[in-house]
Structure 1
Amino acid sequence: MKPLTEEWPGVSYVMPVLNEAPYLRESVEAILKQDYPGEREIILAVAPSNDGTDELAAELAEDHPQVKVVPNPGRDIPRGLNLAICTSRHPVIIRVDAHSELMDDYTRIGIATLKRTGAANVGGLMRAHGKSPFQYAVAQAYNSPIALGGGQYHSGTVEGPCESAYLGIFRREVLMEVGLFDESIRRGEDWELNYRIRRAGYTVWFTPELTVTYWPRETPTQLARQFYSTGAWRGSLVRSGRRTPLRFFAPPALVASGVIAAGEVVADRFLPRRVRPYARIALSGPVAYAAFLAAVSQTAAARRSRPPQFLLTIAIMHISWGVGFWSGVLRGAGNTIDTSRLDAEG
């Protein structure tokens, strides 16, 4: 891997876009405001949308010469990212999502970290924010280890090598060497790419100096669809033999315990009396989860977003992800996609 010898190497920002009219302008403007003197370009891989996103992307490209639009007719995120990367021309690739906004010195700090550490990819913290009451509750859940298991890019405070990076500031030559994003994986494509980067002998680096504002899904249905699809693709990766951190098995364990408990309730009347007390141990899983939610309702995150909405958000995340995970393990993810992106609600 060649060192970045230029003081301010050129940067290409790549962004997959589908039905993002409420967020796209702010996301692009955050890139344009970057405190970075090097050459820059923004490549929007725009999928066919039904909320005016296509027209907005064209308007942004017309108003700003740094912005370019490439069509992504298949709509899949990995395909859109690869199209944008192949269209780009600079040695550093920065992934940005339309639901996110970069802090002003994000690029400057990221480039400096790439040079200082020799890493192939650098990422920072996802800081979720919300506008509506439900979106705010989802944001509080994202920012809490209670919901997502304390992943480094949600709550990490110490920089160092990591398993995966949120979004990512990549050395282009490494992306090309490992083969870009795997277009057969429709969710979890970032984790899988970072897995291949590490397998190739390169370092993925986390630094809490980098912060990205993230706007999560706005309705319970959208959140459930998003987490189901993410869980399905994680289960599919487990099915294929990929190593998975233990925290990802908690939601599927919850779902399994619920199914077993439901089966026990149905079968209880048919079991011999002496067996029933032992069979009722199956109820301990749901009871423990109810106790967990009761404890969660007293946390600062729950109080900030009102406990009922916060608990609803946590339960949707855990159960949808767990159900999706078992679907992915048992039959693979197949054509599972995040259907929350296909409507124009947010």
Structure 2
Amino acid sequence: MATPTHELIGSPHPSISVILPILNEEAHLKGAIDSILSQDYLGKTEVILAIGPSHDRTLEIAQQISQQDSRVVIVENPTGRTAAGLNLALKKSQSPVIVRVDGHAQIPSNYLSLVVEILNKTGAVNVGGVMAAVGTTAFENAVAGAMRSPLGVGASRFHTGGEAGLVDTVYLGAFRREALIAIGGFDERFTRAQDWELNFRLRENGGVVYFDPRLHVTYRPRSTVKALAKQYFEYGRWRRVVSRKHSGTINYRYLAPPFALIGFTVSLLAGFIAPILFTPAAIYTLFVLLASIKIASNIREYFLLLAVIPTMHFAWGAGFISSPKTLVPVSE
């Protein structure tokens, strides 16, 4: 295992490359890039967009922004896969600090300044903060509430906040370039869970992954039940892949959704044989009812949460249970 570096990053204001994997982000791309270009950071910055084959005006919008500001660079990502796009953008970059931002996220004006401060203070190889979900519709607001609550997604600090300190993984991430290069960048076999998998390898290589709640990133949730279910199904599916590839990376929090799905389903079926066996399903239903009251800010959100919370739990659980070993063979 390598010894982690605690050296400062070159100068007080090292250059920063902000990399974004982009696919079908017409609605949010301009806001995401504007939040990067309006930083108060005093050092040199560049924004590298790895754009996949989108079916909307994403490329057109990106080209317009790039023509207006030379700091914005476009690279083609033929596969459209997130990890491949991140690696293409990383290869194009030159800066000692690499900051990942997504096309549907927005960072506060002091984000890059804080990133350099925290990297230098902690000696971490990757730092990240709060995935602050904020919706623009009633459904999105309900999803955002569930994503910010331990009743919806568990107690991960990057969802719910908390004290600064060492963690297993962070949302997005701001990296020391040499640490990313040392482990070979992002594993392109992973369609999802690239962050979990990457941070495991960073820690295995002796690096520190650090959470700081001051790094507050605005995240836009999915806008429909179908999109939300697909997202969480893929989360569960690929988290299972990480657990197979890297033993010891699973914990009880990740096992809760599949056990909830199995218990609820078995309880519903068995209850027709012996009504007492409806009890586990009734307990989960009561949990959803009470959690929705706790999370909701109005009556409309409450009723939406009755669908949102089980969708998140059961889709994640279904993905975890059904994840095939052939996605990424353990032997590779």
- Residue 14 of structure 1 contacts residue 81 of structure 1 at CA under 8 Å; is this kept in 2? yes
- Residue 157 of structure 1 contacts residue 208 of structure 1 at CA under 8 Å; is this kept in 2? yes
Partner of 1:44: 49
Kindly state the Cα deviation for residue 304 of structure 1 after the two structures are TM-superposed: 7.1
- Residue 136 of structure 1 contacts residue 305 of structure 1 at CA under 8 Å; is this kept in 2? no
Which of 130, 133, 137 is the aligned partner of 2:138? 133
Deviations 1:189-237 (A, max 9, x none): 0011011111111101111111000001111110011000111011222
Aligned AA (1:244):
I
Partner of 1:332: 325
Is residue 323 from structure 1 mapped to residue 309 from structure 2 by the alignment?
no
Is residue 149 from structure 1 mapped to residue 149 from structure 2 by the alignment?
no
Partner of 1:310: 305
Kindly state the Cα deviation for residue 265 of structure 1 after the two structures are TM-superposed: 4.7
Kindly state the Cα deviation for residue 159 of structure 1 after the two structures are TM-superposed: 0.6
CA distance in 2, matches of 1:235, 1:82: 23
Q: Which runs of 5+ in 2 are unaligned?
A: none
Q: What pairs up with 1:223-262 in 2 under 5 angstroms?
A: 223-240=228-245, 241-262=247-268
Kindly state the Cα deviation for residue 256 of structure 1 after the two structures are TM-superposed: 1.0
Aligned AA (1:71):
E
- Residue 187 of structure 2 contacts residue 194 of structure 2 at CA under 8 Å; is this kept in 1? yes
Partner of 1:103: 108
- Equivalent residue of 1:297, what SS? helix
- Residue 81 of structure 2 contacts residue 191 of structure 2 at CA under 8 Å; is this kept in 1? yes
Please report the RMSD computed on the Cα atoms of aligned residues, expressed in angstroms: 1.6
Kindly state the Cα deviation for residue 258 of structure 1 after the two structures are TM-superposed: 2.5
Change (3 A) 1:305 1:212: farther
Partner of 1:340: none
Kindly state the Cα deviation for residue 302 of structure 1 after the two structures are TM-superposed: 5.1
Aligned AA (2:150):
P
- Equivalent residue of 1:166, what SS? coil
Which of 51, 73, 77 is the aligned partner of 2:78? 73
Is residue 211 from structure 1 mapped to residue 205 from structure 2 by the alignment?
no
Kindly state the Cα deviation for residue 86 of structure 1 after the two structures are TM-superposed: 0.6
Partner of 2:68: 63
CA distance in 2, matches of 1:46, 1:297: 38
Which of 150, 158, 167 is the aligned partner of 2:163? 158
Which of 154, 167, 171 is the aligned partner of 2:176? 171
- Residue 143 of structure 2 contacts residue 308 of structure 2 at CA under 8 Å; is this kept in 1? yes
Deviations 1:156-186 (A, max 9, x none): 3211111111111100000000111111111
Q: Which runs of 5+ in 1 are unaligned?
A: 269-275, 336-346
- Residue 141 of structure 2 contacts residue 301 of structure 2 at CA under 8 Å; is this kept in 1? no
Partner of 1:273: none
- Residue 42 of structure 1 contacts residue 68 of structure 1 at CA under 8 Å; is this kept in 2? yes
Aligned AA (2:265):
V
Percent identical among aligned pairs is 37
Partner of 2:289: 294
Change (3 A) 1:304 1:4: farther
Deviations 1:257-296 (A, max 9, x none): 1332244256x3xxxxxxx57xx53x33211101101211
CA distance in 1, matches of 2:284, 2:326: 27
Which of 179, 187, 197 is the aligned partner of 1:182? 187
CA distance in 1, matches of 2:68, 2:12: 29
- Residue 15 of structure 2 contacts residue 97 of structure 2 at CA under 8 Å; is this kept in 1? yes
- Residue 232 of structure 1 contacts residue 332 of structure 1 at CA under 8 Å; is this kept in 2? no
Deviations 1:293-324 (A, max 9, x none): 12113214353762111221111100111101
CA distance in 1, matches of 2:8, 2:38: 27
CA distance in 2, matches of 1:196, 1:151: 19
**Worse-superposed segment, 309-318 or 299-308:** 299-308
- Residue 254 of structure 1 contacts residue 285 of structure 1 at CA under 8 Å; is this kept in 2? no
Kindly state the Cα deviation for residue 3 of structure 1 after the two structures are TM-superposed: 3.0
- Equivalent residue of 1:51, what SS? coil
CA distance in 1, matches of 2:141, 2:301: 10
Kindly state the Cα deviation for residue 136 of structure 1 after the two structures are TM-superposed: 1.1
Partner of 2:270: 264
CA distance in 2, matches of 1:11, 1:245: 35
**Worse-superposed segment, 295-304 or 255-264:** 295-304
CA distance in 1, matches of 2:297, 2:284: 16
Partner of 2:199: 194
Which of 24, 33, 42 is the aligned partner of 2:38? 33
Aligned AA (2:64):
E
Q: Normalized against structure 1, the TM-score is what?
A: 0.89
Deviations 1:129-157 (A, max 9, x none): 11111111111111111110021111232
Which of 4, 8, 15 is the aligned partner of 1:10? 15
Which of 82, 87, 92 is the aligned partner of 1:87? 92
Partner of 2:122: 117
